[in-house]
C-alpha cells in the first residue's frame, strides 16, 4: 500500500471504504432509533439513542458525499496491475482498529491518545509535535470530563 498518495482512494478501495461506512452508519441509525423507542430508567431528554442516531446520520451523509464526490479511476503500478490505495477514510478505519486493539492493553487514556495522534496526522496536521500535543490534550480532556465529572466508567 502506498501511503504517499494524496488524492482519493482507488475505485475498489473507495467503494469498500464507502460501503463500510454506509453500513456502519445504517446500523448505528437502526440502533439509535431502537433506543429512542425504548423506555429508560433515567429521564434524559437526549438519551443514548438520540446521540447515536444523530452521529450515525452525520456519518451516513458524510460517507454518501465521500462516495459521490470521489472519482472511480484506479491507480496503476508500473507493471500495470491495479494497486489499491487507501484514502484518509481507510487510514482512519485502520487507526480505529488499532485503537480497539490498544485500549484493552494500554488503557483508555493511552489508547485514545495514540488514536488522536494518528487521526490528526491522517487528517492533515503536518507536524508530529502538534499532533502529539493535541492527541494528549484531547485524550486527557476526555478522561477528565467523562471519568471525573460525568462519572462515566471508561474501559
Which residue is listed with cell 480497539?
100
Confidence (pLDDT) at 130: 92
Which residue is listed with cell 473507495?
14
| Burial classification of residue 32, based on how many CB atoms lie within 10 Å of its CB (0-12 exposed, 13-18 middle, 19 or more buried) | buried
Domain boundaries, the chain: 1-85, 87-155
Confidence (pLDDT) at 44: 55
Confidence of residue 45 (pLDDT cuts 50, 70, 90): low
**31, three cell numbers:** 440502533
Confidence of residue 17 (pLDDT cuts 50, 70, 90): confident
Q: Could you give the residue ranges of the DSSP H alpha helices within 46-127?
A: 47-69, 88-106, 108-123
**For the residues 25-48, what does the mean pLDDT come to?**
72
Q: What distance, in Å, lies between the first and last C-alpha atoms of the chain? A: 32
Confidence (pLDDT) at 4: 42
d(CA 24, CA 55): 11
- Which residues face 76 on adjacent strands? 82
**136, three cell numbers:** 494528549
Q: For 77-119, what is each residue's pLDDT tens digit? A: 555 444 456 677 778 888 888 888 888 888 888 888 999 999 8
pLDDT at 24 over 90: no
Which residue is listed with cell 462515566?
152
Of 141, 18, 4, which Cα lies nearest the Cα of 90?
Answer: 18
**For the residues 42-53, what does the mean pLDDT come to?**
64
Q: What is the dihedral of CA 145, 128, 122, 9, to 10 degrees?
A: 180
Which residue is listed with cell 482498529?
97
Amino acid at each position: 500500500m502506498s501511503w504517499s498518495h494524496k488524492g482519493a482512494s482507488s475505485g475498489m478501495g473507495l467503494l469498500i471504504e464507502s460501503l463500510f461506512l454506509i453500513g456502519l452508519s445504517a446500523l448505528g441509525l437502526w440502533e439509535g432509533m431502537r433506543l429512542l423507542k425504548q423506555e429508560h430508567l433515567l429521564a434524559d431528554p437526549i438519551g443514548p439513542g438520540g446521540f447515536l442516531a444523530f452521529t450515525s446520520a452525520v456519518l451516513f451523509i458524510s460517507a454518501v458525499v465521500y462516495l459521490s464526490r470521489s472519482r472511480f479511476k484506479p491507480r496503476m503500478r508500473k507493471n500495470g496491475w491495479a494497486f489499491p490505495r487507501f484514502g484518509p477514510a481507510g487510514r482512519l478505519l485502520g487507526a480505529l482498529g488499532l485503537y480497539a486493539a490498544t485500549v484493552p492493553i494500554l488503557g483508555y487514556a493511552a489508547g485514545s491518545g495514540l488514536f488522536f495522534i494518528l487521526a490528526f496526522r491522517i487528517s492533515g496536521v503536518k507536524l508530529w509535535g502538534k499532533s502529539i500535543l493535541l492527541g494528549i490534550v484531547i485524550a486527557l480532556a476526555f478522561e477528565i470530563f467523562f471519568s471525573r465529572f460525568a462519572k462515566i466508567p471508561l474501559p
